Structure 1
Amino acid sequence: MNLRYSMNRISITTILLGIGLYCTQAMAGDWPVFGGNWDHQRHAEFSQITPANVAQLGTAWEFDTGVSSSFQATPIVVEGVMYVSLPFNHVVALHADSGKLIWRYTHDRLKNRKMCCGPANRGVAVSGGKVFMGTVDSRLLALNARTGQKLWDIDVTKGEQGVQEDAASLGSQFDTQGGKLEVSGASGAGINMAPMVFDGKVIVGITGVGYGLHLDSPDPDAPLGSVVGIAGNYGRRGFMAAYDVDTGALAWKFDTVPDKGWEGKFTQTTLDGVPLPRNIEQEKAAAANYPDAWQFGGGSAWSTPAIDRENGILYFGTGNPSPQMEGSSRPGDNLYTASLVALDVRTGQLKWHYQQVPHDMWGYDVASPPVLFSTTVKGKPVKAVGQAGKTGWFYVHNRITGELLFKSEAFVPQNNMFTLPTEQGNVIYPGVIGGSNWSPVSVDEQRRMVFIAGIHWPVKYQLHELKAKGNKPALKYSSMSPIEEGDKYGLLSAIHLDTGKLLWQHKVKAPLIGGVLSTQTGLVFSGEGSGEFFALDANTGKRVWQQGNPAGVNAPPISYEVEGKQYLAVAVGGNKLFGFKQGQTIKAWALTTK
C-alpha cells in the first residue's frame, strides 16, 4: 500500500511539474523557509527519529554538485522537491527522497565585478512557483521553480555610492613575509543571505560593505589570516530591501547607516553596561572633520531576517562599521552597525534597534540569524527575539519594544574583551571570529532550550606602523590574527530560554561553524570541520550518534518528511576560512531497517 501510494504521488508530482501547475506551496513535511518555520527555530516536530533509534540512521542518498568550495546553504524542501543554492550561485532542484536531479541553474557572474566575500551562499527562498536567490555579485534572481528558467534578474546595487578609496591599493606597503602572504580583500557588495518572502515581496540585504584588508596565505586550503584595519574613506553603507516578487521592482529600502545621526549618543559603555575604551571628548572634537563618514559606514546585512507575521515586524543583524577595526575616521557610535534591527516589514521603517557594540573596533558583527520564541519575565509570558552574539552572549529582547530582557551566561570563554590593540599584541577572545559566527541557532520551546554552535579561538590584536615607502607616507594600522598554535575548539551549548543559564556544553576539537537542528523527540544535530555529522541527547548533551564524511560538515542541517519517511540533510562542503576540507556533496540520512 505505501509503495503504491508513493508511486502514485510521484506520478502526480511529475505530471504537475510537466504542465506547470506545481505551485510550491508548503505542506506539513516540508522545510519551506530558511529557519524551518517563520520563527527560524530550526526545530523539527517529526517523531520518527528518536534517541532510541538514532543509531539506525544510515545514508539515504548523496548528490554530487560538481562544485567544490565552502558550502553554507540551507536546503529548502517544498512538496517533495529540494532546492539548494551551490557555491558561486548555481542552483539545483532535486527529488527530496532520492537526490535525483530535476533541473540545474548555472549562474553567469558579472565579469567586471569581483566577489567581496567568497563564493558561499546561504540559501534560496521558494514561494508561489518561484525560487529567489541573492548572488555574490549583488544581484537578485527569480527562477521558475518547475524548470529553473530565469524569470527576472536585477542588480540591487546599481546606482549606489561605491568605494572612493580602495584599501587594497595600499597593499604594496605591507610586509608579506617574502611573498608568503597575499594582500586581499577590499570594500564591495554581494549577497550571502537566503532571502525571505512576505506579502508579495522578496526581502534581502547586502554584505561586504565593511570589508577591509586580509593578509592571507596563497595556499587555497589555508585558514583565515590577519584581518587589517586602516583609517580612511573606503567602504559603503549596507541596506535591507524588499522587491516585488513578480517584477523585481523596489518596494522599500532601509539603509543600515543613516545619513543623519549616525554618530548616536557617544556612549561610554555598551547598552548593557560594559565599559568601552573610548575617548568621547576626542571623538566629539574630531566629528566635524569627518562629516561624510556615514557614506562609507558599513553595516553589512549578513543574516536572513526573521519575521513576526502577527505584528508585522522584521528582525535582522548588521555588521561592523567601516573602516573595520579602525575608529579614528568614524567618530561616534556608528549607528546602526553591530546591531539587532527591527523594521516594519511592509514599509521598511525603523521600529527599534539595539546596538550590541557601539563604535565597534573588534569585528563584533551581529551575524547569527535572530530567532523568535516566548520567554517568561516575572512569571508572565513575553514574545521575545533572541540573537547569539559574536561576543559570546545570547541576547534576549522584547520583540515589540526592543527592551533587553536579559543576556545569557557566556557560552564561550571571554578574556580581554573590549580592550585596544598594543604594539606587543593583546590576546583577546572571543574576537573577530566569535563567539557565535553566522551559524544559526535552534530553539526547543517545549524543553525551554536554545542550542548554540560556539567558537573558542583566541586572536592577537596588534598595532603596527609601516615606514614611508617611495611617495607613500608612513601608515599606522591594527590587525587581528587568529592564533594557530593556541588552544581552539568548539562548544555546542544549551541555554535556558527563561533564565539565560547554561544547562550543558558539548566540546569538540575544532571551532563550530555551520548551525544546529533540534527535534521534538529530543535530539540535537550539528556537524564538525573534521567531517563528523553528529547527534546529541537534548537533555544531557551526550553524543548518541555520529557518521564521518570526506569533507567538513559546516552548513546548517535540516529535517523533512516525504511519504511519511523522515530525512535529515546537510551540505558537506567544508569551509575555507576555517581551514576545513572542502567538498561538493549534499547528503541525506534516514532510518535503516535491520
Structure 2
Amino acid sequence: MYVSLPFNHVVALQADTGKLIWRYNHERLKNRAMCCGPANRGVAVSDGKVFMGTVDSRLLALDTKTGQKLWDVDVTLGEQGIQEDAASLGSQLSGQTDKQGGKLEVSGASGAGINMAPMVFDGKVMVGITGVGYGLHLDSPDPDAPLGAVVGIAGNYGRRGFMAAFDVDTGNLAWKFDTVPEKGWEGSFTKVTQDGVVLPRNIEQEKAAAAKYPDAWQYGGGSAWSTPAIDRENGILYFGTGNPSPQMEGSSRPGDNLYTASLVALDVRTGALKWHYQQVPHDQWGYDVASPPVLFTTRHKGQQTPAVGQAGKTGWFYVHNRITGELLFKSEAFVPQNNMFTLPTEAGNVIYPGVIGGSNWSPVSVDEKRRMVFIAGIHWPVKYQLHELKAKGNKPALKYSSMSPIEDGEKYGLLSAIHLDTGKLIWQHKVNAPLIGGVLSTATGLVLSGEGSGEFFALDAQTGQRVWQQDNSAGVNAPPISYEIKGKQYFAVAVGGNKLFGFKQGQTIKAWALKSQ
C-alpha cells in the first residue's frame, strides 16, 4: 500500500499488517509558497514506479521497491503565477476594518501546485495544476476554526491552469492542454447555461469592457483539482476545471471565461480538445468542477449509452454522452438549493450551495448492477456580501466581495443515492457535519464513507440504512478503498481530519478485515 502524506511525503506499507517498508521524505522548494495548503490526494502506481504531484508543482517518480527518487520534473518550469497584485491587495486589506466593522486578516495567494493523484495510461502519466484561481482568503480569528471567507477583487493575478502528460520513464513532456485558451476564451457571452439556468450577467457591459482586458486569459484560472477519468476503449480523458481568476469578481474578465468551471474531454494520446461542457459560464460563485468524473453506461431514450457523470458544487449530478459531450440529463438536486446565481449585496445574500457546498473534492461511487451513483454532499449556507474600504493614507478606497460560511446556521452532510438512468433521488442519509471525503460501494451492497466527527460507516446500498460504524480519534475525510490479500477482504481509509472544515486532524491509516463466513 502506497500512501501520500501531507507535504508530499510517501510511505509504502505492508497492506495486511501496516508494517512500514520504506518512507520518502520530500524536500519542498523553499522559494515557493504553498497556494492551497499541504494536502495531497494520492499517488499512481505503474511500471515499477510510484508517481506523485507535489504542492510545489513538481512531478516525481519513485521506485516501488525502495522509494528512491528516479526522476523529478518541474511541471510549471518555475512560473508560479503573477502574485504582485494579489500581494499588494492583501497588504491593503490586512489589519483594516471594512464598512461592516470586521477586521481583515488575509491569507492565500495565487500560485501553482498539484493536489490530485496522477493517472497513468499508455506510457504517459497525466497530472494537472491547482491554485491558479485561488486569490485571497480572510482568516478566522480562531486558528483551529474553518476558513473564514473567500474574497473577490478585480485585478490581474493568478495564471491559467493546465492538464499535461509526461513520459513514465523520463518525465519528458508529451503534451499540455491549457484550461484557458489564448484565443476564444471570451466564448459566446451567453446569459443562459446549456441546461437552462439564467445568469445575472450584463452582456452589453461585458462586451464593452472586453477591449480593456485583452490579456485576461493569462490570469484566467481553471485549476485541475481532481484525478481524471479515462475511457480506455475510446482514448478520451475527462477532467473538471476550477473557477476563473479572479474568483467571484468578474469585471476584469468579461466573457464566458472558457474553459473554466467545465467538464473537459481530451484525446488522451495528444491532449487535443474533444469537447467541453461549461456548467457555469462567467462563474462568480466559486462553482469549481471539483469532484472527479466517473464513467458508466446509462439507458437514454431506450438505448444503452456510454456516459460520463460529474457531481457538481451546484448540487446536481450531470450526465453526458461521453463521446459527444451531449448533456443527457442532470439529476434532482442532492442538496438544498436557495438563491443560487444571485449577486452579492451590502446586506449579504444567503446562498446554498455556495463555494463550499454541493459535492466538493469528494469522489462518487457507481454501482451499475443496482443502477445507482452514491454522492457525498454538503449543505452549508454562505453569505455573499459586498464590502468597501475607505481611503486611508496613501491607500485608495477599495470595493470587494466575500463569501463567508455561516457558522451559526444549520449545516450537515447528505449521502445520496441517485438513479443512473433517470437522475431521480432514491434515498438520502443525513449526517451531522458536511461530508468531505468520498464514497466506496461494493458488489455485495455496502456503501462506505466517513464523517468529520471520526465515524467510519457502512450503509445498505438498497435502503441507505446504517449497518455498521467505527469511531476514530480524528475526522475520516478521505475516500475509503477496498482490496483483497490471500482471500481476505480489507477496507482502509486515512484518518486525517480536515482543517478547512474544522474537523479534528490526525495522522493514521486504519484498515479493517471482513470476518470469514
Same fold (TM over 0.5): yes
Asked if 1:144 corresponds to 2:67, the answer is no
What's the C-alpha RMSD, in Å, of the aligned pairs? Answer: 1.3
Partner of 1:86: 5
| Matches of 1:173 and 1:181, distance apart in 2 | 10
Provide the residue aligned with 2:494 in structure 1.
571
Asked if the contact 1:166–1:186 (Cα under 8 Å) also holds between the matched residues in 2, the reply is no
Structure 1 residues 521-532: aligned runs within 5 Å: 521-532=444-455
Gaps of 5+ in 2: none
Contact 1:165–1:232 (8 Å) recurs in 2: no
Identify the residue that residue 438 of structure 1 maps to in structure 2: 361
Residue 421 of structure 1 corresponds to 344
Could you say what secondary structure the match of 2:164 adopts?
strand
1:373 is aligned, of 296, 317, 320, to 296
Choose from 274, 277, 292 the match for 2:197: 274
Whole-angstrom CA distance in 1 between matches of 2:94 and 2:66: 51
Does structure 2 retain, via aligned residues, the 8 Å contact 1:173–1:466?
Answer: no
Q: How does 1:183-582 map to 2 (within 5 A)?
A: 183-582=106-505
- Quick one: percent identity of the two aligned structures? 89
Secondary structure of 1:286's aligned partner: helix
Aligned residues of 1:189 and 1:209 also touching (Cα < 8 A): yes
Question: Which residue does 1:158 correspond to in 2?
Answer: 77
Aligned mates of 1:491, 1:503 — CA distance in 2: 13
Opposite residue 21 of structure 2, the aligned amino acid is I
Q: Distance in 1 between matches of 2:307 and 2:375?
A: 17
Cα deviations across residues 63-121 of structure 1 (Å, max 9, x unaligned)? xxxxxxxxxxxxxxxxxxx0010011000001100000110000000010011101010
Task: Give the equivalent residue in structure 2 for 1:133.
Answer: 52
AA aligned to 1:389 is G
> How has the CA–CA distance of structure 1 residues 135 and 427 changed in structure 2, closer, same or farther, with 3 Å as cutoff?
same
Deviation of the 1:180 alpha carbon = 6.8
**In the alignment, what sits opposite 2:92?**
173
Query: Equivalent residue for 1:51?
Result: none
8 Å contact 1:181–1:217 — kept in the other structure?
A: no
CA shift, 1:176, in A, is 4.6
Deviation, structure 1 residue 592: 4.2
- Aligned letter for 2:144? D
What is the Cα deviation at residue 402 of structure 1? 0.2
1:334 aligned counterpart, secondary structure: coil
Q: Which deviations, in whole Å up to 9, do the C-alpha atoms of 1:331-378 show, x marking residues without a partner?
A: 000000000000000000000000000000000000000000000011
The runs of at least 4 consecutive aligned structure 1 residues that moved more than 3 Å come to: 175-181
SS of equivalent residue, structure 2 residue 84:
coil
Q: Does 1:591 align with 2:510?
A: no
Deviation at 1:159, TM superposition (A): 5.0
Shift of 1:411: 0.1
Letter in 2 for 1:170: L
SS of the aligned residue for 1:430 comes to coil
- Aligned pair partner of 2:16 in 93, 97, 104: 97
Find out whether 1:108 has 2:27 as its counterpart.
yes
Contact 1:342-1:353 at 8 Å conserved across structures: yes
The CA deviation string for residues 383-404 of structure 1, in whole angstroms up to 9 with x for no partner, is 0000000000000000000000
Report the equivalent of 1:38. none
- Mapped partners of 1:271, 1:591: distance in 2: 46
CA distance in 2, matches of 1:168, 1:499: 48
Asked which structure has the greater CA Rg, the reply is: 1
Q: Which has the higher contact order (CA 8 A, sep 6+)?
A: 1
- Please give the alpha-carbon distance, in whole angstroms, between the structure 2 residues aligned to 1:172 and 1:114: 17
Q: SS of 1:536's equivalent?
A: strand
Q: CA deviation at 1:167?
A: 1.3
Contact 2:94–2:105 (8 Å) recurs in 1: no
Paired positions, count:
513
What is the SS of the residue equivalent to 2:169? coil
Amino acid at match of 2:18: G
Q: How far is 1:174 from its partner? A: 2.6
SS of the equivalent of 2:176 reads strand
Letter in 1 for 2:431: V
**Residue matched to 1:117:** 36
Answer whether contact 1:575 1:582 (CA < 8 A) is retained. yes
Amino acid at match of 2:88: S
Residue 593 of structure 1 deviates from its aligned partner by: 6.8
Q: Secondary structure at the match of 2:304?
A: strand
C-alpha change, 1:261 and 1:466, in structure 2 (3 Å) is same
The aligned residue for residue 75 of structure 1 is none
- 1:27-61 superposed Cα distances (whole Å, 9 cap, x missing partner): xxxxxxxxxxxxxxxxxxxxxxxxxxxxxxxxxxx
Residues 172-200 of structure 1: CA deviation (Å, up to 9, x unaligned): 33365889763101100000000001111
Counterparts of 1:355 and 1:176 in 2: how far apart (Å)? 38
Using the size of structure 2 for normalisation, the TM-score is: 0.98
CA contact (8 A) 1:312 1:346 kept: yes
Structure 1 residue identity aligned to 2:314: T
